Amino acid sequence: MVASKSGMAKFIHQCILVQLQHHARHRLPTFQLIFVHVIESLVFVPFYDDQLLAFMVLILIWLCELFTLISVRTPISIKFFPRFFLLYFLVFHIYFFFYSYGFSYLALSTTAAFMQHLILYFWNRFEVRNDKGWKELQSGKRPFLTG
C-alpha cells in the first residue's frame, strides 16, 4: 500500500510538472493551475485532526517544492536538499505522532524555520556560486532528475 501511494504521488508530481512546463512555455496564467493543485492537495487533510495544521503543512511542502523546482540546479543540491527536507519533516512527524496533545503549531513553526535555514543555506552555499546554473537559468534550461 505504501508503494502504491508513493507511485501515485510521483505520478501526480510528474503530471503537475508537465502542466506547469506547458503553461510556462505558452505563457499561460498559472494561478488556476496552482489553485487546482492546492485544492487537490486538500485530499490529504484528513490525515491530521486539525485542518489548519494540515493546510499549513501542505503550504510548507508546496513552498519547498517550488524552491526545488525553480532554484535547485547543482548536483549536490539536487542530491542532498531532498534528504534534509525529508529529515526535517520526519522529525516533525515523529514529534506530532508521539505527542498527540503537544505543541503542534510550535513544532511546525520550528520546522518551518529549519526549512527556511535549509533553503537559504543551499541557495547561498551552492546555487549562487554556480555560474553555470545562472547561465542555464538565463537560457531557460534546467537539469531534471527523474527516478
4-32 pLDDT tens trace: 445 555 555 666 677 777 777 777 777 77
Say what the pLDDT of residue 5 is.
Answer: 46
Q: How many other CB atoms are there within 10 angstroms of residue 130's CB atom?
A: 16
What domain count does the chain have?
2
Q: For 115-132, what is each residue's pLDDT tens digit?
A: 999 999 999 888 887 766
50: three-class secondary structure by DSSP: coil
Domain that holds residue 73: 50-147
Indicate if 55 and 68 belong to the same structural domain: yes
Indicate if 41 and 54 belong to the same structural domain: no
Indicate if 57 and 109 belong to the same structural domain: yes
Cα–Cα distances in angstroms (integers) from residue 72 to residues 1, 17, 48, 92, in the given order: 31, 15, 30, 23
Which pTM was predicted? 0.61
Helix H or strand E segment including 120 = helix 104-122
Indicate if 66 and 137 belong to the same structural domain: yes
Indicate if 69 and 80 belong to the same structural domain: yes
Cell of 103: 505543541
Indicate if 15 and 31 belong to the same structural domain: yes
Cβ 16 vs Cβ 24: under 8 Å:
no
Confidence of residue 72 (pLDDT cuts 50, 70, 90): confident
Cα–Cα distances in angstroms (integers) from residue 59 to residues 39, 55, 65, 82, 124, in the given order: 11, 6, 10, 16, 23
Cβ 88 vs Cβ 111: under 8 Å:
yes
Q: Which long-range contacts (CB under 8 A, 24 or more apart) does 129-134 make?
A: 130/73, 130/74, 133/73, 133/74
The CA distance from 34 to 12, in Å, is: 13
Q: CB within 8 A of 110, min separation 6: which ones?
A: 92
